[in-house]
Amino acid sequence: MGHEVKHRNILYTGLPGCGKSTIIEKIVQRINRPSTGFFTREIRDKGRRVGFSITTLDGQQGILAHIDIRSHIRVGRYGVNIRDIEKIAVPSMRPENDNVILVVDEIGKMECLSGLFRIPNVSEYLKL
């Protein structure tokens, strides 16, 4: 009895700084399929982490969180930028068709503070 699997998810986990984002970025560069989604990166000032950026695979950029963001929505010392999550990250999570690979570098506490990020997007696109 043949059974075709339509969607497959690869979830890569590990401790901070172990190279998860780097390996995902290298895989995306080498695959020969259209991709959409986003990566997060540390923002550093004089060697000190001061925030996190969002960069989509099509080059849009924004701020995920930063110590200088004044917001009641905070994770530790970082003010979370819900606007950029919802205007930059969330739209990048909408593949045009089933042939497009969706890359979501981070499903963390900061991202999940956005209702648009959490539901239905993550569960819908990961087919959870």
pLDDT (tens digit, 0 to 9) for every residue of the chain, 128 residues total? 455 545 567 778 888 788 888 988 898 889 888 999 999 999 999 999 999 999 999 999 999 999 999 999 999 999 999 999 999 999 998 888 888 888 888 888 999 899 888 766 566 666 64
pLDDT at position 5 is 47
pLDDT at position 120 is 60
* β-strand partners of 103: 37
pLDDT at position 17 is 81
pLDDT at position 12 is 82
Q: Which of 128, 95, 88 is nearest to 111 (CA)?
A: 88
Asked whether the bond before 91 is cis by omega within 30 degrees of 0, the reply is: no
Q: For the whole model, what pTM was predicted?
A: 0.83
Residue 62's CB is within 10 A of a number of other CB atoms, namely 17
- 69 — phi, psi (to 5°)? -75, 120
